[in-house]
Chain A
Amino acid sequence: MCNCGESVRDQRYTALEKTLSKYRHSTGKIIPVLQEIQDIFGYIPTDAIREVSRELKVPSSEIYGVVTFYGQFHLQARGKNIIRVCTGTACHVQGGGKIVEAITGYLGLKDGKMTSDDMMFTLEPVACLGACGMAPVMMVNEDAYGRLTPDEIPAILARYDENRKQGDDEKCIA
């Protein structure tokens, strides 16, 4: 929670309160609550876990257990754009690994880091996007891209990159 006084309280916490009041009297709703919190913040802040615990009357250890169990929830802030690149079997045999390399190369990601230094992108390898017929596949936010080749990656990502602003619309296929 921020310390700069109630009057300028982060709008996101107002949204959090609204979400919590909606689920206050329901059981078994931890996952939908956390999904909404992640939509609000982009990740699950620790103080939000405490508030969920208080409102839903569930120990915070249990909530933490749920957050860390599921791949979808994140405890750290993430980049503005989420790149979900498929590492499923069909993408693997069609060269999905080269796509991952092209992305990490473009974003300058090293040593297992998944978020670019300017917080513009987070790379999230996922098990399968279910568009195997289009392999290799990735999604940037809600946009799906299929039949990718490594050399297309810079142009696609540049479209989302406000810091570079040299988007090539021709490469966008969806």
Chain B
Amino acid sequence: MHSLKEMRREFQRAFNISANRVKVAIGLGTCGIAAGGEKVWSAVNEYVENECLDVDIMSTGCLGMCYAEPIMEVHVPGEPRFVYGNVKPDTAVEILERHLKYGRPSPEHIMGQDPRGFKPAPNIVELKDTGFFKSQVKTVLGRCGIIDPEQIVHYIAFGGYEALEKVLSEMSQTEVIEEIKRSGLRGRGGGGFPTGRKWEAAYNSPGPKKYVVCNADEGDPGAFMDRSILEGDPHSLLEGMAICGYAIGADEGYIYVRAEYPLAIKRLRKAIHDAEAMGILGDNILDSGFSFRIRIAAGAGAFVCGEETALMHSIEGKRGMPRVRPPYPAASGLWGKPTNINNVETYANISGIIRRGAGWFSGMGTDNSKGSKVFALTGNIRRTGLAEVPIGISLREVVFEIGGGIQNDRQFKAVQIGGPSGGCIPASHLETPIDYDSLIRLGAMMGSGGLVVMDEDTCMVDVARYFLKFTQEESCGKCTPCREGTMRMLQILERICQGQGRPEDIDTLESLGRVIKSTSLCGLGQSAPNPVLATLRYFRSEYEEHIFNKKCPAGICVELLDIIIDPEKCRGCTLCKNVCPADAIGGERKQPHSIDPEKCIKCQACIMKCPFDAITKG
């Protein structure tokens, strides 16, 4: 049992020694790569090699600042850590040239500095004071973007596996469960069931063979915090699962990862391999007598597999269809054995709770929702990314303080929370604290924490149609209300968007929605009508506008658009006439043109072509 403590000291020493060297870190999570991080990586490597610089180049996970990717950090010994954003290969070289050769941080691309106890550079904002980080707490994401996720020694040097060591050497199974119960941690995957109680139920289930399952099938469009943890700090998940295994008496764990996350799977494989090689996973962990192995099951593309019983069917190699509960997984789960199932973010919270105590954790949050939660900020917002905040912070703070408000100076219209199971919350409820119970009262739900911000140019009927199309396609077909009901709702919404809505449609949508919610078998069906019911609750007039006036106020539903040329602005340049694929535009050269509404197919090619902004839709 001494070995890990000694190792940690040694790794910390090694880390401190490397802190005496110049380090350049580049964010290479999927976001960083999509923004061009790998090109920056090669350019930096080439530069360092050509200039024969003595510099460590390190790849890290995601700092959460998607809006600023690709991100490059420069650490010079004795100086603050400087974070640069929106770096391109050539600008990266310019920055390094200026920063490393002449010792001057480059002001143009700097996002902020982190003094780390050293004297801050003048005129450069500290990262923690920037709008994006000011209200954030970094606990689950604390190591993401700081350590190299493929180096187990980095994780250990930053306190990793200390909680597992503590649990194995000085805590009984029930003490671990009590600690988690006291912390007030609730499942971060959507439902918000108290984690400690779930563990207790699995612990109390009799049987020699039990399983720990991690739901990493992050299927909600708009949520990517689990991917960030898997890619940026995979060992924190492994540690949480091992602690759970010890607490409930399981010796085997499965991580069910969606196939759309190839980089996450690769990093998890390496993490498991490295942990086994060091005796932190596998047989007789750290000489404690406790054995725990973790396997990876790659999903095959089915949203419903995020439902726990469907997920376990999928691991067993079957069609991923949900079944009736009870029995709950704690009594009969994977291969009929008692099973505890939580999602990635939930497990990633465990080591912090054990290490710093339940009291520390429950000090954050509200009465019924403790701790911090990671939200994914996306959509029409200035600063997209991942933000970890204490639960209970208001939506306004997240959208406007952290996210910086709406992009392109447009007006805020709604924020969609909770993915296809959630709802749209309008501006009038922006002061609502984000916690499990307040959101349900508004007809939305916490879900996995995806926040898609929508501006005034978003059509709420179109958004509802989009979600119904999604759930309709992903319905597994097992139970009739979900299979047939979502199809009917989708047909009605499509009709409304095409200008063929009927006066009774709103009532039909509402009654269908109620039936589907109360009679579907699993969470997918029970929550599928939420996007429609929530938009009907807050944006009913938009539906009425579509149905009765055949107008789409946001100008999104193509069939309801009128495309008109303003004769005052038109100079008769004929550009629009030439680009029109339907031959719908007429008029002589140098005379105002006009559009024949019968022929117009509303492709809007003319709007994009017109140099005088003379063509408008409405």
Q: Which residues does A use to contact B, with CB under 8 Å? A: 27-32, 34-35, 65-66, 69-73, 84, 87-94, 126-135, 137, 142, 144-147, 172-174
Contacts and interface: CB of A to CB of B under 8 A. Distances in A.
B317 A70 contact: no
Given A28-B335, A93-B463, A132-B224, 7 more contacts: A32-B297, A66-B317, A72-B300, A88-B222, A126-B260, A130-B224, A173-B36
A31 B317 contact: yes
B321 to A, nearest CB: 8
Contacts of A65: 319
B69 A133 contact: yes
Contact of B34 (A73, A87, A88, A174): A174
Given A32-B298, A127-B219, A66 B319 contact: yes
B37 A174 contact: yes
Contacts of A31: 297-298, 300, 314, 317
Interface string B396-438: 0000000000000000000010010000000000000000000
Contacts of B303: 127
B314 A132 contact: no
Interface stretch (B13-21, B189-197, B378-386): B378-386
Q: For A88, A146, A147, which residue has the most chain B Cβ atoms within 10 angstroms?
A: A88
A71 B320 CA distance: 11
B458 A93 contact: yes
B34 A132 contact: no
Contacts, number: 156
B528 to A, nearest CB: 14
Contacts of B298: 31-32, 35
Interface in B510-547: none
Contacts of B227: 130
Interface in B422-477: 450, 452, 454, 458, 463, 466-467, 470, 474, 476
B31 A69 contact: no
Contacts of B378: 89-90, 132-133, 135
A134 B261 CA distance: 15
A146 B318 contact: no
A137 B32 CA distance: 12
- Top 3 A-B residue pairs of the complex, sorted by shortest distance between their CB atoms: A133-B66, A88-B221, A71-B301
Interface in B83-108: none
Contacts of B317: 27-31, 66
Contacts of B262: 142
B37 A92 contact: no
A90 B222 contact: yes
Given A35-B298, A93-B379, A131 B315 contact: no
Contacts of A34: 300
A132 B29 CA distance: 13
B220 interface: yes
Q: For A126, A128, A129, which residue has the most chain B Cβ atoms within 10 angstroms?
A: A128
Contacts of B260: 84, 126, 128-130
A102 to B, nearest CB: 13
A118 B220 CA distance: 34
Contact of A89 (B218, B222, B299, B319): B222
B170 to A, nearest CB: 37
A152 B546 CA distance: 34
Given A93-B454, A144-B30, A69 B302 contact: yes
Interface in B320-379: 320-321, 335, 376-379
A72 B305 CA distance: 13
B316 interface: yes
Given A31-B314, A71-B302, A89 B419 contact: yes
Contacts of B379: 89-90, 93-94, 135
Given A88-B222, A93-B458, A127-B474, A70 B320 contact: yes
A9 to B, nearest CB: 28
A84 to B, nearest CB: 8
A90 B35 contact: no
Contacts of A29: 317
A36 B419 CA distance: 31
B569 interface: no
B38 interface: yes
B301 A147 contact: no
Contacts of A91: 221
A61 to B, nearest CB: 12
B58 interface: no
Nearest to A62: B318
Nearest to B225: A130
B199 interface: no
20 contacts: A28-B317, A28-B335, A30-B318, A32-B298, A70-B300, A89-B416, A92-B221, A92-B466, A128-B220, A132-B222, A133-B378, A142-B262, A144-B30, A144-B33, A146-B34, A146-B35, A147-B34, A174-B33, A174-B36, A174-B39
Nearest to A137: B34
Contact of B466 (A32, A70, A89): A89
B384 A133 contact: yes
A129 B221 CA distance: 8
B203 interface: no
Interface string B186-230: 000000000000000000000000000000001111111001000
A132 B453 CA distance: 12
Contact of B31 (A73, A127, A146, A172): A146
Contacts of B377: 133
Contacts of A89: 221-222, 378-379, 416, 419, 450, 452, 466-467
A145 to B, nearest CB: 6
B385 A133 contact: yes
B393 interface: no
Contact of B35 (A73, A132, A134): A134
A134 to B, nearest CB: 5
B261 A130 contact: yes
